[in-house]
Chain A
Amino acid sequence: LAKTTQPISMDSYEGQEVNITCSHNNIATNDYITWYQQFPSQGPRFIIQGYKTKVTNEVASLFIPADRKSSTLSLPRVSLSDTAVYYCLVGPEAGSYQLTFGKGTKLSVIP
């Protein structure tokens, strides 16, 4: 399974755009890139998924360069309620359903 590397933590002020970059140098051809958000005392919640280029939904945007060796989750105009841990995952491998969670990025939004 492709390993991912993300910053351990980030701070941002309310109203700012936050970009969290994830490195996945060994991503396989069939791997998708998926981001989850986890609040304390809750399970991870799916945010966005992409394979290449750009994906946007009502919550976030996901930018994936042509080589797919990294991806950037963009959160527009964050609020205090966006304080959470954000996980970047790649995979699963063909024929497998296993998700491998890295350490995630703890985002703290400051008033």
Chain B
Amino acid sequence: SAVISQKPSRDICQRGTSLTIQCQVDSQVTMMFWYRQQPGQSLTLIATANQGSEATYESGFVIDKFPISRPNLTFSTLTVSNMSPEDSSIYLCSVGSSFGNQPQHFGDGTRLSIL
């Protein structure tokens, strides 16, 4: 399975600032996804990162708050903009194939704390 690296692994940020999280995959993948996992909770899909086009966002998530880039088939970034303490979460990148039933593979996430 693909090896997924996320940077940074953790960060502590000030309210009102923005942070960009990087996701690098060791092979070309069709689908890349970004999830949020709030403390003690399950994972929630933020958006699907589409190569060469705008990301597809899930209900409750908007591009202005979570801009996403997908410049090629091995890399994506998620920016958390104008952060507030409510954005303190783990943000995870995952990859999948174009065959919907194939399991997704996840990075180890970025643990973000906002003061």
**Interface of A with B (CB < 8 Å)?**
30, 32, 34, 36, 41-46, 49, 87, 91-104
Contacts and interface: CB of A to CB of B under 8 A. Distances in A.
B53 interface: no
Interface residues of B, number: 24
Contacts of A30: 101
Nearest to A48: B103
Given A43-B106, A95-B100, A97-B96, 6 more contacts: A30-B101, A94-B100, A97-B31, A97-B33, A103-B41, A104-B42
Contacts, number: 55
Interface string B25-53: 00000010100000001111100100000
A42 B108 CA distance: 4
B96 A43 contact: no
B106 A44 contact: yes
